[in-house]
Amino acid sequence: MLSRWTQSVDIGTGEMTSEGDYTIIAANRAGCDDLGAILGERGEGARCQCQRYKLAPREAFKHHPAQVRAERLRSQTRCGHPDGPTSGLVAYLGAEPVGWCAVEPRNAYAGLARVYRVPWAGRAEDKADGTVWAVTCFFARAGYRRRGVSRALAAAAVDHARAGGARAVEGYPMITEPGREIAWGELHVGSHTIFAAAGFREVGRPTPRRAVMRIDF
């Protein structure tokens, strides 16, 4: 059964609290150990550390060990330092950290700006426009998957972007097909149904299996 999710947002602090199953907070209000527990020590989450769209030109994962990417994520989120900007959200089930969502101004993702088709094909968008935010990644901790974590995070991301001054927020999900296995490189962006449940509407289909979904405030 999908989790229930309701929330209130303090625009001054960015802190979010739930009245349902999950509590979701800005990542700088989470402990760095909690973020590490979500991404784990093995597998694609631990390897990527949500740096796919943060790499500089000509950078590659093979040039830096996973620990360097983890340190970059801690710096980007400012985990444990709730007095400034951050770059994502962390979900808790009770006291357990269970999920991560990358959401911040779209122009913070240098790698995203270098991608031609997704999300830019067929749209006249200013890639430097910081008033448009992007949701680029969901990750549920092992043992807590298929329990509505990503849906709760997607809903929270909308209010987080609005509270941060965004005029719009968008994501670039997969169009899932029954019986077709989804690779990690596809899974992390979220599914069409997750974004639709959070109120996003489709505004583009740059490839047969990728959509651009958006909310304008």
Domains of the chain (ranges; CATH) run 7-216 (3.40.630.30)
pLDDT at 91: 96
Cβ-Cβ contacts under 8 Å for 103 (sequence gap 6 or more) = 87, 88, 89, 133, 134, 135, 136, 157, 160, 161, 169
Q: Is it true that the peptide bond before 57 is cis, omega within 30 degrees of 0? A: no
- pLDDT, tens digit, for every residue of 1-14? 223 334 433 433 44
pLDDT at 126: 95
Q: Which residues of the chain have pLDDT under 70?
A: 1-20, 178-187
Helices (H), 5-148: 32-39, 43-48, 66-77, 110-114
| Number of Cβ within a 10 Å radius of residue 184 | 11
- Please list, residue by residue across 39-56, b when 16 or more beta carbons sit within 10 angstroms of its beta carbon and e when fewer do: beeeeebbbbbbbbbbbe
- pLDDT, tens digit, for every residue of 89-136? 999 999 999 999 999 999 999 999 988 889 999 999 999 999 999 999
